[in-house]
Structure 1
């Protein structure tokens, strides 16, 4: 079978490799890969910034945003041949911390977890892969064209869960949410905000392309002004920050209404220094009872929430998030960003 691989931490080692087809063990599902999504994490692994191959192996199979069709399922697994399925990314530490022991492996406290396509486990960018039934999530058959969005949607589902849990520390009846960044995470965050009946606003610097129309078709409002101007006018109850841009992260912390919740989902690059009035920022957070929370990855509960959110969305709208589909034999094109990309998908089969 063919698979997209790298040799971490060697930069620019991306290749289409011929590998033996995996043999399912211990009740695993055998799955024909249909597609994988491409994101910034993949590009950082390709650059050599991080990523670890499985123990005893030189190459790592990429791909953590999966979609496949079950070829073979053992009796009693809850799956059958032909089912659409997504594989969970993270696995808990075999010597679990308290969070992992309670099924909250996305909150692992000791770095002993592994991740498909990222850290010590081969990923899903292969024509065939296996997955344990307990780490496979079924998808509605109607989501075949867009089911590859499940993993980023799970990250967003977790972010919303975190916001609502933090808000529930006292009375919480949010009306308005501002999402910064109209990439896949930002647009899916806006979708889940609209599904909650909130007044949704999205900020991005792009004025053309598909993003403004996608936001408008959610019944949301698209902004391109400076963040401080937008937050001053809106006074959002919730900010979901999906850019990782340092200046926006700091401005978002100071931009909510009192008793606001800011959820950071974008990962900022290190090495850039910004001047911050730390005293003023602290004063606003304390005196307004604001909360800043970081959120990354997802556990099984969030994948199931994501499956429900995608099933309840307009499939045509979801499909517009996928701006390029690249066949496996042209794999390198999928990892080279283009100006109007939202979500790029590498197609593996069918």
Structure 2
């Protein structure tokens, strides 16, 4: 695993989450505000913990969908729950679970930084999903490919600024997810998206298998990287393993196995990261009691002193009431001077 401090320097770009493959998120519903009332049973006792507010970092195992990994948490009586950054069923690693008021942070967590993945690809094969779980479309000889050929192509990922979106993904065409169209045998125009790779390394080669690590903008399709490498080498390639090691601003070092909370539900409160700590690069503005009352009514408050830029292109901040995040705010210019305008209230 890469050290978290090392990972952080690679992750400064924007985008959307890695999308589902042939076995995508289906009807298990993981969006913000999903109502769940059942609780986990342990030693004959029902556990329905109070609603938590913050971010829970899970270490998703390979196999289940991202939504299914939330099931153990939902059963603890968490009525408001979602996640930021879907992982394909094939993938493992960091999955950010949003609880309570943190569900309002989803868009900011997705746009506030990048991700780091390690994975394995296999040369000589092409599938409809661009990973090992899809239907094999073609088998191609790879024995003429050398290690230096592979290293050259992986290094070329650093020059990419856009990539093709897999047909088995959650990206939409005319309101329909591409994976649903693909499963029905319907074609859609090839979508292209912007992305950025800031690190691309070959870790190990045992051809036809290649182990690699990339640091990338949020939303980069790792399956697409594997597929494009195979196309350029002329032998095809599929993704066989994938681990998300870092999803800004959290790494595997703070991630917990979903099964931990089934075994001991009382662990949950101590593992939830407070809302304001989920975006540590945002400034915090302490409010007076009078200002807090105005904010609760949706009224902007003056910027008493210059505040630091959040670093992601917008003047964003947490408005704090007695040490607790009260609202997300954006600095705006007005006739009376700069003020903090409320974006999202966090008080109910």
Q: Normalized per residue, which structure has more strand? A: 2
| TM-score normalised according to structure 2 size | 0.24
Greater relative contact order (Cα < 8 A, sep 6+): 2
| TM-score normalised according to structure 1 size | 0.24
